[in-house]
Amino acid sequence: MTNQTNTERQVILTGDRATGPLHLGHYVGSLKQRVSLQDEHDQTILVADMQGLTDNAHNPSKVSSSILNVVADYLAVGIDPRKTTVCLQSQLPALAELTMYYSNVVTVTRLERNPTVKSEIKSKGFERSLPAGFLTYPISQAADITAFNATLVPVGDDQLPMIEQTNEIVRKINSLAGKPVLKECKPLLSNASRLPSTDGKNKMSKSMGNTINLGATEKEISTAVRSMYTDPDHLKVEDPGKVEGNVVFTYLDAFHPDIKYVSQLKKHYQRGGLGDGTTKKILEECLQEVLKPIRERREKYLKDKAQLIDILRAGSEISREKTNDILLRVKSVFGLNLF
Ligand code: ATP
Ligand code: MG
């Protein structure tokens, strides 16, 4: 964590698309940090249902049915709604309005240059059917972040281009205003800011269907670990093995609490004599231990949907006020403040 976060109280805005249950990538990429930041900072978490529709408008129930699951995931990992405001994007009209204003200061060429969006467009095979909302979602993320005047955004590294885009918009609006109306923000990366899928080929992500979810059963965890990509040249136990690119070690680095032990395991694996069966067994035990209490709490929270809705409703009410305030300031920059 940066020094800055230790000393100054920051305004934090993060969020997740409501496109499915949260997974281990979310846990190490962002959720763990949010849990530790909520004590000292002013933190809001946005369930991004509107952004979820940008590539799921043909199947909206995927988004609507994911909303409460995501809230249950938050509570299960330790997000405390008394410390963190949890709100729903579609309940905050100011975000859509800000997106419209910001759309006028961003070029299509700039949007097409965004490396994360570029690779997502490719992997989703949109070609000529690319929804306008998908190409422009970085603008809507800029609206989300600036609507809270956030200064710190805990994210995975795929989101760095969105932070860059946000700060460009902030500078444009401030320059039009001739004074600082909006604040620039900084990303906060964890030390596992891009957890790979178990096959090591891609980032673990909901839309790739390659996840280990926070609610995964014991059996699902076990199957996923057993199928993990290791070192294809490590044929016999006594052979020296590679730890770089070996997903089992990437996960041990991300999840095992004993760094020294993991470092000893790596040395043993590199010199030979440590089998993949053993390293996978160690990882499986570790993940079972991490996920068991989360899975149990998640199940408990999902039994009381009314409570989850109340949390979202209360958080959205607070956020509506904040975001309307920023919207008025931005409208004034464009002279749209006649009454
Ligand atoms: P989708 O496939 O629908 O985009 P996703 O799995 O990529 O879903 P998001 O809701 O887009 O999840 O991401 C929410 C947050 O979690 C972002 O800050 C993102 O950077 C972070 N995140 C997502 N996947 C990972 C991962 N594999 N490793 C680290 N951080 C991640
Ligand atoms: Mg994503």
**Residue 28 · residue 254 · CB < 8 Å:** yes
Closest approach atom of ligand 1 to CA 23: 6
Q: What is the mean pLDDT of the chain?
A: 96
Residue in this structure with the two tokens 């949007």, named with its chain if needed: 111
Q: How far is the CA of 7 from the centre of ligand 2 (A)?
A: 30
Q: How far is the CA of 162 from the centre of ligand 1 (A)?
A: 13
78-128: per-residue pLDDT in tens? Answer: 999 999 999 999 999 999 999 999 999 999 999 999 999 999 999 999 989
Spatial distance between the Cα atoms of 335 and 216, rounded to a whole number of angstroms: 52
Question: Which bound ligand lies closest to the C-alpha atom of 193?
Answer: 1
> Does domain 6-196+305-333 fall into CATH 3.20.20.140?
no
- What is residue 303's DSSP assignment? T
Q: State residue 7's pLDDT score.
A: 67
Spatial distance between the Cα atoms of 98 and 139, rounded to a whole number of angstroms: 9
Q: Identity (one letter) of the amino acid at 132?
A: A
Structure tokens at 266: 């790596």
Closest approach atom of ligand 1 to CA 205: 6
Question: Which bound ligand lies closest to the C-alpha atom of 52?
Answer: 1
Residue in this structure with the two tokens 């940066």, named with its chain if needed: 2
Q: What is the pTM of this model?
A: 0.95
Q: State residue 1's pLDDT score.
A: 45
The segment(s) of the chain belonging to CATH 1.10.240.10 are 218-299
Identify the segments of the chain with pLDDT beneath 50.
1-5
Cβ–ligand 1 contact at 154 (below 6 Å): no
Closest approach atom of ligand 1 to CA 158: 20
Q: How far is the CA of 269 from the centre of ligand 1 (A)?
A: 30
Q: State residue 2's pLDDT score.
A: 44
Closest approach atom of ligand 1 to CA 28: 29
**If one looks up domain 218-299 in CATH, what number appears?**
1.10.240.10
Cβ–ligand 1 contact at 231 (below 6 Å): no
Q: State residue 109's pLDDT score.
A: 98
Helix, strand, coil percentages for the chain (3-state, nearest 5): 60, 10, 35
Residue in this structure with the two tokens 């000893």, named with its chain if needed: 264
The segment(s) of the chain belonging to CATH 3.40.50.620 are 6-196+305-333
Q: Name the closest-CA residue to atom 5, ligand 1.
A: 205
Question: Which bound ligand lies closest to the C-alpha atom of 73?
Answer: 1
